């Protein structure tokens, strides 16, 4: 076969294309496990950070991160409508993909129309419990010092995904962080600023209409324009992000959604009722 003939050239091109396709496919399959592990480690790092167990931006070896997480955090899956723990799903909580579940017709559903811009929600959602004492292997007991809830909602340009850490009374905020968003750097992107995130610590979520969830005045915490006072003086307000009103409002709206009746509200009520009993 002549090397400058059309059959040879076509055959050579097909061979190169097949080789490249095989190489790319093999690489993708080979790296998938590592990518999934990195994703899992990043998520655990964010949970530990918002819980105050590791410092913001700390470089922790993967093995140490896994060990710290297993000693301090217990993950469960809860049914959002009933507010009860799904025991069967909780056994595999470490591998539960809440984002994927919300998009699945069987595992998710359309969300009620809300200013947060949330379109779909999972029927079951993750809750991370921070244990006040480190857990030993095989010990499932957990004296909860914080509850960490995943939250999400629309900003200006993107959906913001994060975690909020709450005290056992579900009213005092212990931390807030966002691990994925596409907001404008220097403006809405300041949701990642450690200084701004510290301003959330000690704020209160609910109004003081009563001592039980059914008596609460609803979710009152919000981001305002300008500066808010100290938590002791201005417990429900947080400094606005300069030049990022839509992103600031987005943070307010997503917290109102996920801490309300269509999010973790039923779960919060169940836990507090159980603790009061």
Residue 20 burial class via C-beta count within 10 angstroms: exposed 0-12, middle 13-18, buried 19 and up: exposed
Q: Output the pLDDT for position 21.
A: 66
Domain for residue 17, yes or no?
A: no
Per residue in 70-105, pLDDT (tens digit) is 999 999 999 999 999 999 999 999 889 999 999 999
Closest CA to 152 of 245, 250, 79: 250
Strand 237-238, strand 222-223: pairing: parallel
Domain for residue 10, yes or no?
A: no
Contact 88, 78 (CB under 8 A): no
Domain for residue 226, yes or no?
A: yes
Number of domains, the chain? 1
Domain for residue 255, yes or no?
A: yes
Q: pTM for this one?
A: 0.85
Domain for residue 179, yes or no?
A: yes
Choose the weakest-confidence range: 9-23, 95-109, 144-158, 216-230.
Answer: 9-23
Neighbour order of strands in the sheet with 144-154: 73-79, 124-131, 144-154, 159-166, 173-180
Per-residue pLDDT band for 31 (boundaries 50, 70, 90) equals low
Q: Domain containing 167: what range?
A: 73-276
Domain for residue 253, yes or no?
A: yes
Residue 201 contacts by C-beta under 8 Å, 6 or more apart in sequence?
173, 174, 175, 231
- DSSP for 161-184 reads EEEEEE-TTS-BEEEEEEEE--PP
Domain for residue 62, yes or no?
A: no
Q: For residues 234-248, give the mean pLDDT.
A: 95
* Rounded CA separation 136/27 (Å): 38
Domain for residue 21, yes or no?
A: no
């Amino acid at each position: 076969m002549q090397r400058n003939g059309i059959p040879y050239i076509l055959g050579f091109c097909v061979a190169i294309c097949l080789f490249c396709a095989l190489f790319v496919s093999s690489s993708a399959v080979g790296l998938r496990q590592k990518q999934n592990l990195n994703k899992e480690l990043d998520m655990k790092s964010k949970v530990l950070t918002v819980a105050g167990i590791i410092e913001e931006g700390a470089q922790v070896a993967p093995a140490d991160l896994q060990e710290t997480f297993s000693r301090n955090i217990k993950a469960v899956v809860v049914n959002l409508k009933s507010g009860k723990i799904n025991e069967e799903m909780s056994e595999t909580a470490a591998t539960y993909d809440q984002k994927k579940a919300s998009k699945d017709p069987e595992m998710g559903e359309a969300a009620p129309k809300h200013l947060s811009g949330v379109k779909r929600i999972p029927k079951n959602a993750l809750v991370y419990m921070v244990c006040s004492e480190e857990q030993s292997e095989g010990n499932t007991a957990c004296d909860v010092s914080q509850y960490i809830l995943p939250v999400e909602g629309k900003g200006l340009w993107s959906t913001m995904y994060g975690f909020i850490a709450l005290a056992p009374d579900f009213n005092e905020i212990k931390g807030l962080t966002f691990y994925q968003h596409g907001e404008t750097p220097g403006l809405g992107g300041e949701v990642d600023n450690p200084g701004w995130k510290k301003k959330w610590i000690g704020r209160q979520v609910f109004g003081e209409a009563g001592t039980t969830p059914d008596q609460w005045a609803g979710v009152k915490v919000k981001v305002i324009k300008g500066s808010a006072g100290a938590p002791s003086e201005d417990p429900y307000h947080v400094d606005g992000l300069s030049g990022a009103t839509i992103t600031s409002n987005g943070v307010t709206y997503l917290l109102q959604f996920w801490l309300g009746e269509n999010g973790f509200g039923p779960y919060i009520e169940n836990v507090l009722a159980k603790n009061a009993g």
